[in-house]
Amino acid sequence: MKGKEIIIRYGIFLGIILIVFPLLLSLFIDAPDYNNKLRATFLLSRTFIILSFSTVIFLAISLEKFPKPKKESFLIRILLFIIAILLVLPAFWTYGSLERNLEMYSWQLHKIQYDSHRWLNLGVFGERGVVKETIEILQDDSVLKRIQFNPNVQDSTLVILASYNISGKHDSNYGLDINGIHYDITSTILSKPKEAMHTYTFQVPHLQEFNVVNLSQQGDDILQVYTQIDYFKKDSFRDGRMLDWQSLLVGFRYKENFLYTLSFKLGILLKIAAVIFVWLSLFGIGFSKNIIRKQWKELCFATIFAFFLIYVVNKIYGLWEYLSKVVGYGVYFLLKISFLHPTISFPGSNPDVGIPGIILNIAETCSGIEGISLFLFVYTLLLIIFWRRIKHKKALFLYIPGVIGVYLVNIVRVYLIFIVAKLIGIDFAVNAFHVNIGMVLFILYSLTFWYVVLKWIKK
């Protein structure tokens, strides 16, 4: 009865930090529809995922030793939960606008680290999102964006994320038009090294409530303005060259008050504190004291191991471009032996694989990296649960064939997308089928793998 009660409370705990908190976060994210809100929310929920995984490991190795939860005042529990909500809301508030915090973020290649400049900004806690595309501004071309701004602020700073590549003639001029007023920004653009992502800042007087920004170029060089899909509004436009889900990374730097800046700095700490108070509201203060006093070794192990595993997964994610190439060649081979006349090309760092009428880009989500990461989490958790009943060396060795197997399953998944597109239609293949087949195949693979290996590793 004791174990069942603890598991029920823990299930509620996971539901709050993995469902309720992200839903609250989604209220602060600007997006044209709720599906995109949830996508951005998931990318910004790493802190909650890490803490939930750490507590799952702790529960798996310590459940038998858990003391019985003590009865505490219902009002105290409600008060602790209210405190948790009050702690987490300020952290979410500062996620409300990428443009608002543009100068606070760190940029690494095509990644945004949203929690840069926050206190306790550990690598595993860093919330990262993808800068999706670059819009190239060619000879005598321009790019536009509409921005709404607080009309009470008269002067501010415009921030643009861009890079440039000199053709060799060094004769390009760059202009910035804001509400019809022209600024020559050539010296500012050329003041930083070429072919690298930079944040350019410009002092802008006389802002309006609705502002139109026009970034233009005259000459043979190429100016790239970066776009993203994690935070965006339908206020960016470029005739025929930008999709409606992209938004230029152009924004005004706000002159923030002390409360906003403090909330931003404390963002990670506030989220961790909120999770702690949710735990206290469900399990009680006395129960938590007993756990810390009697099972502190297991708690430290669970925390360190969870951080280590996520650190390894982060390193693996850095290999996705190499993995996507292998997936591309693997899918190409399967299509070749299926007599579908495939093609493969490399317009960028990752390949395009196609058959007549259908071309798919093997991006990060198709590289197999997500399946590998999920397998590492699931298999590790199963090993911890069954640790006393398995042969450890054999179980650890099986990480290698397990990862290889789930990677091969991903190649089959991408191949099946082509087959379904050929037989049924590309719309169904790249939408409904593409979204669901990955998880179906992963579950089937994981169940089969565990069923087979358990007989071999069992004591």
Q: Per CATH, is 129-253 categorized as 2.60.120.260?
A: yes
User: Given the DSSP bridges, would you call strands 128-130 and 111-113 parallel, antiparallel or unpaired?
Assistant: antiparallel
Q: What is the pLDDT of residue 318?
A: 77
Q: Find all residues with CB under 8 Å of 389, minimum gap 6, and list them.
A: 458, 459
Residue 304 and residue 321: Cα distance in Å, rounded? 29
- Residue 355's φ and ψ, nearest 5 degrees, are -125, 165
Q: Is residue 219 within 8 Å of residue 139, measured between CB atoms?
A: yes
Query: What is the token pair recorded at 167?
Result: 């053709």
Residue 250 and residue 146: Cα distance in Å, rounded? 10
Query: What is the token pair recorded at 148?
Result: 């709404």
Domain spans of the chain? 2-100+259-314, 129-253, 318-457
Residue with token string 């399990």: 283
Q: Is residue 391 within 8 Å of residue 398, measured between CB atoms?
A: no
What string of DSSP letters covers 345-414? E-SSSS-EEEETTEEEE--GGGTTHHHHHHHHHHHHHHHHHTGGGB-HHHHHHTHHHHHHHHHHHHHHHH
Report the predicted TM-score, pTM, of the whole model to 2 decimal places.
0.74
Residue with token string 């999920």: 374
Fill in the amino acid letter for 410: N
Would you give the DSSP letter of residue 256? -
Residue 374 and residue 452: Cα distance in Å, rounded? 19
Q: Please report, in tens digits, the pLDDT of each residue of the chain (459 residues total).
A: 467 788 888 899 999 998 899 888 888 877 666 666 776 777 778 788 888 888 888 887 777 777 776 677 889 999 999 999 999 998 888 876 666 666 666 665 556 667 777 787 766 666 766 565 566 676 677 777 777 665 555 566 777 878 777 655 566 888 888 888 888 888 888 888 877 777 788 877 767 777 788 888 887 777 777 776 655 555 554 444 444 456 677 776 666 678 888 888 888 899 999 999 999 999 888 888 888 888 888 888 888 888 888 788 778 877 888 999 999 999 999 999 998 999 999 876 789 999 998 888 888 778 888 889 889 888 988 888 888 788 888 999 999 999 999 999 999 999 999 999 999 988 888 777 876 888 889 889 999 999 999 888 988
Q: Is residue 377 within 8 Å of residue 308, measured between CB atoms?
A: no
Query: What is the token pair recorded at 90?
Result: 């300020």
Query: What is the token pair recorded at 81?
Result: 């939960």
Q: What is the pLDDT of residue 278?
A: 96
Q: Is residue 51 within 8 Å of residue 20, measured between CB atoms?
A: no
Q: What is the pLDDT of residue 59?
A: 82
Query: Reading across the β-sheet that carries 181-184, which strands appear in turn?
Result: 181-184, 173-178, 210-218, 141-148, 236-237
Q: How many CB atoms lie within 10 A of CB 22?
A: 18
Q: What is the pLDDT of residue 152?
A: 56
Query: What is the token pair recorded at 187?
Result: 């010296």
Please, is 65 exposed, middle or buried when counting C-beta atoms within 10 Å of its C-beta (0-12, 13-18, 19+)?
A: exposed
Q: Is residue 58 within 8 Å of residue 142, measured between CB atoms?
A: no
Q: Find all residues with CB under 8 Å of 405, minimum gap 6, and list them.
A: 445, 449
User: Which residue from 163, 189, 173 is spatially nearest to 140, judged by alpha carbons?
Assistant: 173
